[in-house]
Copies of this chain bind each other. A is one copy, B any other.
Amino acid sequence: MQGVRKQRAAETEAALKAAAVEVFAEHGYLNTKITDITAAAGRAAGSFYNHFASKEDLLEALLTDLLAETDAVVAADAEHDPDFRNRAAVRYHVASFFAFFRAHHTVLVALQQAALVDQRFAARVAELNSADLGHLAEHVDHVRADGHEPPGPARAVAMAIAKLLWGFGFSQVVDGDTGLSDEAAVELITDLIHRGVAGRLS
């Protein structure tokens, strides 16, 4: 029976991660001390360093977990409708984003905060965003194909959409001050993007 030790260690590591997420959600990543995490996990301060080299390292681990989960979801996403002239295609993206954001907002916000202070995370976040931007830009380009004219260069429009999603997602999920249900929020943002990108004035 050589598994008990490893299992105990794995439990402690999981407890530290879970505690970190809790504490990040409550006080924010930047305000969180290592001892806040260990205290919330019910472990001694020194225990932390058996598992993580630093708070940054823990956040990297949380990010790795997040990406692992996400990859599976993204795979299922392959054959969605690319045409943003169809409201349903826009809605699909908006709804996916909100679901993703609601599931992972604590880590996502922690990453944003880390990026403010730490070069490495800034690069990491930029890189992650860049992939999504490329994807969104393709959708925007689709609109142009057939007479419709999106309001600007595809990548710039994609950036605007991304900022809108992140910003409103933050209000909806973290601040909770939009006064809308998640469903209503999805409809609102879908309309805004759909009309904004593919719409005309009547």
Contact = CB atoms under 8 A, between A and B. Distances in A.
Given A153-B179, A155-B179, A201 B201 contact: no
Contact of A195 (B167, B171, B177, B200): B200
B202 A152 contact: no
Contact of A168 (B155, B163, B199): B163
A interface residue count range (under 10 / 10 to 19 / 20 to 34 / 35 or more) = 35 or more
Interface stretch (A1-9, A47-55, A185-193): A185-193
Interface in A158-202: 159-160, 162-164, 166-168, 170-171, 177-180, 184-185, 187-189, 191-202
Number of this chain's copies in the complex = 2
Interface of A: 28, 30-31, 87, 113, 116-117, 148, 151-153, 155-157, 159-160, 162-164, 166-168, 170-171, 177-180, 184-185, 187-189, 191-202
Contact of A167 (B28, B163, B184): B163
A200 B35 CA distance: 54
Main secondary structure of the interface of A (DSSP, over half): helix
Contact of A180 (B31, B156, B200): B156
Nearest to A113: B116
Given A156-B178, A199-B196, A30 B191 contact: no
A127 to B, nearest CB: 13
Contacts of A179: 153, 155-156
Contacts of A201: 87, 194-195, 198-200
A163 to B, nearest CB: 3
A70 B163 CA distance: 25
A163 B162 CA distance: 11
Contacts of A164: 160, 163-164, 167
A200 B199 CA distance: 6
Given A159-B177, A160-B168, A200-B202, 17 more contacts: A28-B116, A151-B188, A151-B195, A152-B184, A156-B178, A156-B184, A159-B178, A160-B192, A163-B163, A163-B167, A164-B167, A195-B197, A195-B201, A196-B196, A198-B201, A199-B201, A200-B201
